[in-house]
């Protein structure tokens, strides 16, 4: 299959974040890349879809960007560091809990900007061709063939390559072809929550309306809201809520009552008029979680990113995991000297447990944030974890930190957490046992004194009768 000195031809389906990054990786190796994206080129699109939407980027995505030389430009120069979460209570109280050391922060990066820079970087290579408004509609993946339909024409063309990369997102067409394979496992789950994006504009002075270097979170049990900062000093606010609840807020008055009740401090920041306008101009979007296995077909096709493992966004790891896919696949191409069969097989085997782990962690966070945030023990655990991490930075790594600030395999992050839970449970038993023992010992030792105090208390109580 290999042509002219180990160089192969690659078809990438999808020019989103992961597809565009994957094009950079293959271009860097000198392979011939053709990328097909179904939408128009976002860099020249006449009207941008929606407002500026941003994503939380952490070390996994940054490590992948560093390999293709884009980490500096994209993250350190453009991203806005968020060094702590800022928890907003209903009474307007806010509490900041740092993510860790001063270097441990996540970056808020604009999705459109990120996608534009990645596409431009890919296109700089003479061996990369980008085709927009080209939709993959079918094909024979075992032969490396896909069928592409050009927008506006009913004509289809067949494109053949050594390798097809499916980076076409949660509703992947490439994955639909994989499903025809025997022994292909697949499951998808829609959650009952949808999401809607709102906006907090900059202050009149042009400054951020809230403290900038935080991920703002309004946990309210069944509804949650977060805000990430944008370059233009606005905030993108994302409201997560059951579809039923979205439906019940069907008049401006009901909407304002709801917000004034649950998010009183956010109402003046968004502005009542803007809140009503943005809310009723948009529809809540669904959230889906997808697991499947394997990710490849023979030696000629593979799915990566959301196509392979779409997850609910409650860990802020979807893009990070997708970029890590590109990074891992690149390392496997080196390890197996461009032998596609071996690289694809190992990618499926190695990556699947980790992809499913992060899907599970994201879903678990969704459940935990809904059900546990009102328990004081929840924040207590977060604080304890931070404290123990500060005491023993290499020994006690909290789950959120291992996922967000380390390169530990996602499946190991879960193992690490299980081990910590065990230690904590045992020390809880030990502590309560030791406390009871301690109190008893003190009581025994001081029985005379206690008796004295007791009798004098009874005596003085007598004065009142
Ligand atoms: P996509 O970005 O979906 O791109 C797929 C591309 O393929 C699209 O451009 C599409 O037009 C194209 N395409 C689809 N079908 C075809 C076809 N048949 N032919 C040709 N092209 C096709 N992740 C984080 O890391 N941090 C966050 O803070 C974060 N927040 C999120 C918040 C929300 C509300 C959501 C929904 C997700 C969030 N994510 C986050 C996840 C992140 O958005 C995704 O993981 C990431 O966009 C996946 O990239 P992708 O390239 O695999 O898929
Ligand atoms: C209170 C309750 C504080 C995504 C629950 C923290 C996720 C979970 C969606 C945050 C951060 C990046 C995110 C923390 C917790 C992004 C994230 C977290 C959300 C929602 C998100 C944290 C985009 C659970 N990271 N996180 O610890 O700061 O902990 F709130 Cl709804």
**Residue holding tokens 């009503």?**
276
Question: Residue 76's CB: how many other CB atoms inside 10 A?
Answer: 11
Burial annotation 250-276 (CB, 10 A radius, 16+ → b, else e): eeeeebbebbeebbeebeebbeeeebb
Confidence of residue 102 (pLDDT cuts 50, 70, 90): confident
- Computed on alpha carbons and rounded to an integer, the radius of gyration of the chain in Å comes to 27
Judge whether residue 243 has pLDDT over 90.
Answer: yes
Q: How far apart are CA 9 and CA 143, in angstroms?
A: 13
Distance 81 CA to ligand 2 centre (A): 15
Q: Three-state DSSP class for 107?
A: strand
Tally the C-alpha atoms within 13 A of residue 418's C-alpha that lie toward its C-beta. Answer: 7
Q: Which of 313, 317, 327, 359 to mutate to test the pocket of ligand 1 (most atoms within 8 A of CB)?
A: 313
Ligand 1 centroid–CA 362 distance in Å is: 16
Nearest-angstrom CA–CA distance, 417 and 413: 6
How much is the pLDDT for 101?
A: 79
Q: What is the pLDDT of residue 317?
A: 98
Residue 338: phi and psi, rounded to 5, are: 65, 10
> Which residue's CA is the nearest one to ligand 1's atom 26?
316
Residue 323 in contact with ligand 2 by CB distance below 6 A: no
Rank 280-284, 395-399, 447-451 by mean pLDDT and report only the highest: 280-284
Q: What is the pLDDT of residue 373?
A: 65
- Atom 2 in ligand 1: which residue has the minimum CA distance? 16
Residue of 81, 69, 79, 66 whose CA lies nearest to 109: 79
Q: What is the pLDDT of residue 241?
A: 97
Percentages of the chain per state (helix, strand, coil), in multiples of 5: 45, 25, 30
Q: Is 316 in the pocket of ligand 2 (CB under 6 A)?
A: yes
Alpha-helical regions (H) of 58-172 = 59-67, 71, 111-123
Question: Which range, of 3-12, 273-282, 322-331, 388-397, averages the lowest pLDDT?
Answer: 3-12
pLDDT by residue (tens digit) across 399-457? 999 999 999 999 999 998 888 888 888 888 888 888 888 888 888 888 888 888 888 88
pLDDT (average), residues 115-123:
97
What is the C-alpha separation between 304 and 321, in angstroms, rounded?
9
Mean pLDDT of the chain: 93
Rounded distance from Cα 116 to ligand 2 centre (Å): 27
Which residues surround ligand 1 with Cβ inside 6 Å?
13-19, 36-39, 55-56, 135-136, 167-169, 173, 195, 238, 305-307, 313, 316-320, 322
Cα of 225 vs centre of ligand 2, distance in Å, is 10
User: Tens digit of pLDDT for each residue in 53-96?
Assistant: 999 999 999 999 999 999 998 888 899 999 999 999 889 899 89
Ligand 2 pocket check for 365: Cβ under 6 Å: yes
The reported pLDDT for the residue numbered 441 is 85
Residues 6+ apart with CB under 8 A from 309: 290, 291, 292, 321, 355, 356, 358, 359
Please give the share of the chain, as a percent, with pLDDT higher than 90.
73
Spatial neighbors of 71 by CB under 8 A, at least 6 apart, are 62, 63, 65
| CB of 314 closer than 6 angstroms to any ligand 2 atom | yes
pLDDT (0 to 100) of residue 3: 45
195 close to 239: Cβ distance less than 8 angstroms? yes
What pLDDT does 430 receive? 84
Q: Which residue's CA lies nearest to atom 15 of ligand 2?
A: 369
Choose among 313, 361, 364, 356: nearest CA to 187: 356
Ligand 2 centroid distance, CA of 315 (Å): 6
Tell me the ligand closest to 383's alpha carbon: 2
Q: Report yes or no: 105 and 111 within 8 Å, Cβ to Cβ.
A: no
Res 2: pLDDT: 46
Work out the average pLDDT over 26-53. 87
Model confidence pLDDT, tens digit, residues 290-303: 999 999 999 999 99
Angle made by CA atoms 228, 231, 232, in degrees to the nearest 5:
105
Question: Tokens 């081990």 identify what position?
Answer: 419
Residue 240: nearest ligand to its CA? 2
Which of 283, 207, 268, 202 lies closest to 235 in space, CA to CA?
Answer: 202
Query: Closest Cα to residue 404, out of 272, 331, 314?
Result: 314
What would the pLDDT profile of 366-386 be if each residue is shown by its tens digit?
A: 998 887 666 777 778 878 888
CB-ligand 2 contact for 293 (6 Å cutoff)? no
């Amino acid at each position: 299959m290999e042509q002219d000195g180990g160089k192969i031809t690659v078809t990438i389906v999808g020019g989103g974040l992961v597809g565009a990054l994957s094009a950079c990786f293959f271009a860097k190796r000198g392979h011939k890349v053709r990328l097909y994206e179904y939408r128009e080129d976002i860099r020249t699109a006449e009207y941008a879809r929606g407002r500026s939407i941003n994503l939380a980027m952490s070390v996994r995505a940054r490590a992948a960007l560093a390999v293709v030389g884009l980490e500096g430009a994209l993250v350190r120069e453009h991203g806005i560091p968020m060094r702590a979460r800022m928890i907003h209570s209903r009474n307007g109280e806010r509490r900041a809990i740092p993510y860790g050391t001063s270097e441990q922060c996540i970056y808020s990066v604009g999705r459109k900007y990120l996608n534009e820079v990645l596409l431009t970087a890919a296109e700089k290579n003479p061996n990369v061709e980008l085709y927009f408004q080209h939709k993959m509609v079918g094909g024979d993946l075992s032969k490396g063939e896909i069928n592409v339909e050009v927008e506006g024409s009913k004509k289809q063309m067949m494109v053949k390559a050594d390798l097809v990369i499916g980076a076409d997102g949660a509703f992947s067409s490439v994955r639909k072809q994989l499903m025809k394979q025997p022994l292909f496992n697949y499951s998808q789950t829609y959650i009952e929550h949808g999401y809607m994006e709102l906006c907090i504009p900059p202050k009149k002075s042009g400054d951020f309306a809230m403290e900038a270097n935080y991920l703002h979170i309004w946990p309210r049990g069944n509804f949650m809201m977060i805000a990430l900062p944008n370059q233009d000093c606005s905030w993108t606010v994302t409201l997560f809520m059951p579809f039923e609840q979205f439906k019940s807020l069907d008049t401006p008055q009901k909407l304002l009552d709801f917000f004034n009740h649950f998010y009183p401090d956010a109402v003046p920041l968004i502005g009542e008029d803007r809140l009503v306008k943005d809310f009723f101009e948009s529809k809540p979007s669904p959230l889906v979680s997808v697991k499947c296995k394997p990710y490849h077909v023979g030696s000629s096709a593979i799915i990566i990113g959301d196509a392979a493992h779409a997850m609910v966004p409650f860990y802020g790891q979807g893009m990070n995991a997708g970029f890590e896919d590109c990074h891992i696949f690149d390392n496997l191409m080196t390890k197996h000297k461009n032998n596609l069969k071996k690289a694809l097989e190992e990618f499926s085997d190695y990556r699947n447990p980790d992809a499913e782990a992060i899907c599970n962690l994201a879903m678990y966070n969704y459940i935990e944030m809904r059900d546990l945030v009102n328990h004081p023990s929840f924040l207590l655990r977060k604080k304890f974890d931070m404290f123990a991490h500060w005491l023993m930075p290499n020994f006690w790594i909290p789950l959120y930190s291992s996922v967000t600030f380390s390169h530990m395999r996602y499946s190991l992050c879960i193992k690490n957490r299980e081990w910590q839970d065990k230690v904590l449970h045992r020390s809880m038993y030990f502590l309560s046992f030791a406390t009871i023992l301690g109190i008893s010992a003190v009581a025994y030792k001081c029985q005379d004194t206690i008796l004295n105090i007791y009798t004098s208390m009874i005596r003085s109580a007598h004065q009142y009768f």
